[in-house]
């Protein structure tokens, strides 16, 4: 019986998370706290006795660096890593780089809330959560899931919204349900899958 292990982890705190800016596809680095969160995620996974065969991450350095730091804590830096923009954060378009409070002053609280929390309404020039799912899910099904089902122990280091898309499918959440789901930075979520790709068990390593 293969393990069919899949671990999801959101990158540690980024410089723009700290500054309350819309980040999206902007390529910003981790803060000192983000580095600490990534290392702590590695320690938590190591304490669970886990090892990995393959890793996937986005084209953005905050996710890549989180993965590198995490694997280094586990003495597993040599495993194959695939980077792909299909796992990138949701593109916030014209909101990218703006302070969230400034955006509310410009467009109004209600409009910004709709852009941030609706399932299928995108900000100007950007992506909705549904758009993010439309690029993330096919990549998961075609590239990542086959590894898991073959018994390759797999970790994905990505972003709040690209991981939301995967959690929505794994946990069979509705569009309304996924909007209420927060994915904290640097906290691994451990899934073990059945042979039919449904979830057999889930363990959230929140402190």
Which positions are catalytic? 11, 89
Token code pair at residue 53: 């065969």
| DSSP reduced 3-state for 30 | strand
* C-alpha–C-alpha distance, residues 38 and 20, integer Å: 20
Angle at 37 between CA 15 and CA 191, to 5 degrees: 120
Paired with 82 in beta bridges are: 56
Ramachandran angles phi, psi of 28, nearest 5°: -105, 160
Beta carbons within 10 angstroms of residue 192's beta carbon: 15
């Amino acid at each position: 019986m293969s393990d069919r292990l899949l671990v999801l982890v959101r990158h540690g705190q980024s410089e723009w998370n700290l500054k309350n800016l819309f980040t999206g596809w902007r390529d910003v680095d981790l803060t000192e706290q983000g580095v600490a969160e990534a290392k702590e995620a590695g320690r938590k996974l190591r304490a669970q006795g886990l090892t990995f065969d393959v890793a996937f991450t986005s084209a953005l350095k905050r996710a890549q660096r989180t993965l590198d730091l995490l694997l280094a804590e586990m003495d597993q830096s040599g495993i194959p890593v695939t980077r792909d923009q299909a796992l990138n954060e949701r593109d916030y378009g014209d909101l990218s780089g703006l302070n969230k409070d400034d955006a509310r002053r410009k467009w109004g609280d209600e409009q910004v809330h709709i852009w941030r929390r609706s399932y299928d309404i995108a900000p100007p020039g950007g992506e909705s959560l549904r758009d993010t799912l439309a690029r993330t899910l096919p990549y998961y099904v075609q590239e990542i899931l086959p590894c898991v089902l073959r018994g390759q122990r797999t970790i994905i280091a990505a972003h709040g919204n690209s991981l939301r898309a995967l959690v929505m499918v794994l946990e069979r959440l509705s569009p309304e349900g996924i909007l209420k789901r927060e994915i904290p930075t640097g906290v691994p979520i451990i899934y073990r899958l059945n042979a039919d790709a449904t979830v057999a068990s889930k363990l959230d390593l929140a402190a």
